[in-house]
Amino acid sequence: MIENSYQNLLKLPDLKRKLFITLALLFVYRVGVHVPTPGIDGAALSSFFASASGTLFSMFNMFSGGALERLSIFALGIMPYISSSIILELMTVVVPHLEQLKKEGDAGRKKKTQYTRYGTVVLSIIQGFGISVGLEAMTSPAGVAIVPYPGWGFRLITIITLTAGTAFIMWLGEQITERGIGNGISLIIFAGIVANMPSAMGNTIRLMSTGELGIFSLILLVVLMVGVVACIIYMEQAQRRIPVHYAKRVVGRKMYGGQTSHLPLKINTAGVIPPIFASSIIMFPTTLAQFINLPVMQTIATMFSPGTIWYYFLYIGFIVFFCFFYTAVQFNPEDVADNMKKNGGYIPGIRPGKRTSEYIDKVLTRITVGGALYVSAVCVLPTMLMQKFNVPFYFGGTALLIVVGVSIDTISQIESHLISGNYDGFMGRSGSKRIKGRS
């Protein structure tokens, strides 16, 4: 019955309600993407983005689901919230108060969430001001001003609109997490990326119809796509399980412990954060070159544009660096070793305490090497393929990592609801009869 549970997906009232809430809130988000900010010449802005491919603008526009190129009320997307979360996570290492909150359980988590919200609003105000000032100085390739009536009136409206839009997206994400299925913030990013897939597929079909893309190239591309997706699914679920034994303890008349468990270490502990940071740093010179018309800046932008050897070398280097850096921030072997020691746990053949911490750190370092190489390959491969076959398709990279990762997480949550619903159903059919019989 569990195998056929997906056929009964909408027969569980609680799961059906959660799915409906999730889809309804994502629909609200997609509607808001098409609501423009006042004071913008939409045609001039679209022309500017068409000429700004390969810069930070194109990457942020992808994560915002096309909201940035329209400068809609959701133009900032959820990136300020993600940036605030990352900054707060990094500050945990150096700020004792944040480190203490991390150990306070649910109360500390709520406090950190509150700090993250405040940080999101502050970053949104700063970014909104920067965007408003930057737009006033921008023109389309034809020389048309993007902002017809610049000034503080336009700046204030833009700051308020974009900040309110980001705060609303943050609220939508939290509502999806609490009332729907999956992680709300991740699903919003997922929806923004997937929304651009139909246009990319349309471009691919157009290239085939004009003869620019051959049938052999398309077949090879599809095979590689399936292979990379399978690789991502395998690697995202891959773990290194360290066996952990718990010593027997006698408390009163009861015996505790004596169990065998394991410590799961993910191959890709850092997730999609390394490629996002690496892309931002690599694309920064190209973005600056859009505004600074100097020969030096143009030369640097050319060196770091996608396809050059310097681009690949630095991109892979930054990904590897941030994989190790963010893993070190997220996972502390000393805390894990201390918790194991307090609960009477130990790794066979390894002394508890410092030796255990060193062993976990050694294992984590080794698997992070493999994880960093895997993330680098997935992120670099699409750029090479697009240049080789000239295919404007969302294949690989950070976008595919997010899409596959969010899909796996959401499906696993749906499966857990289905299993729980089936168990409840079994108990409801058999258990209720037993209760009635006893009465």
CA distances from 106 to 71, 101, 259 (A): 37, 9, 27
Q: Say if residue 198's pLDDT is above 80.
A: no
Axis-axis angle for helices 273-289, 354-389 (nearest 10)? 50
Res. 109: pLDDT tops 60: yes
Distance CA 378, CA 400 (A): 9
Return the minimum-mean-pLDDT range out of 18-22, 61-65, 87-91: 61-65
pLDDT at res. 390: 55
Query: Percentage of the chain with pLDDT > 90?
Result: 8
Confidence of residue 57 (pLDDT cuts 50, 70, 90): low
pLDDT, position 367: 92
Helix axis angle for 273-289 and 397-438, nearest 10°, is 150
**pLDDT at position 364:** 92
pLDDT mean over 235-252 = 79
Q: Is 130 left (phi over 0), alpha (psi -120 to 50) or beta?
A: alpha
Alpha carbon distance 225, 382 (integer Å)? 9
- Read off the tokens for 282: 């690599």
Position 160 scores a pLDDT of 92
Model confidence at 54, pLDDT cuts 50, 70, 90, reads low
Model confidence at 144: pLDDT above 80: no
Which of these ranges, 186-195, 238-247, 299-308, has the smallest mean pLDDT? 299-308
Mean pLDDT for the stretch of residues 285-314: 71
Residue 255, pLDDT > 80, answer no
Confidence of residue 258 (pLDDT cuts 50, 70, 90): low
Among 41-55, 165-179, 207-221, 228-242, the range scoring the smallest mean pLDDT is: 41-55
DSSP character at residue 1: -
Whether the pLDDT of residue 168 is over 90: the answer is yes
Alpha-carbon span 334 to 432, nearest angstrom = 49
User: 257 in the Ramachandran plot: left (φ > 0), alpha (ψ -120 to 50) or beta?
Assistant: left
Between residues 436 and 70, the one the model is more confident about: 70
Question: Domains in the chain, start-ordered, CATH in brackets?
Answer: 1-196 (1.10.3370.10), 214-393 (1.10.3370.10)
What is the Cα–Cα distance from 419 to 143, expressed in whole angstroms? 60
Tokens of 89: 């996570």
Neighbours of 75 (CB within 10 A): 26
Average pLDDT, rounded, for the chain: 78
Is the confidence at residue 48, as pLDDT, over 80? no
Compute the distance between CA of residue 122 and CA of residue 166 in angstroms, rounded to an integer: 11
CA distances from 107 to 68, 81, 100, 113 (A): 36, 20, 11, 10
Residue whose C-alpha is closest to residue 119's, from 170, 73, 157: 170
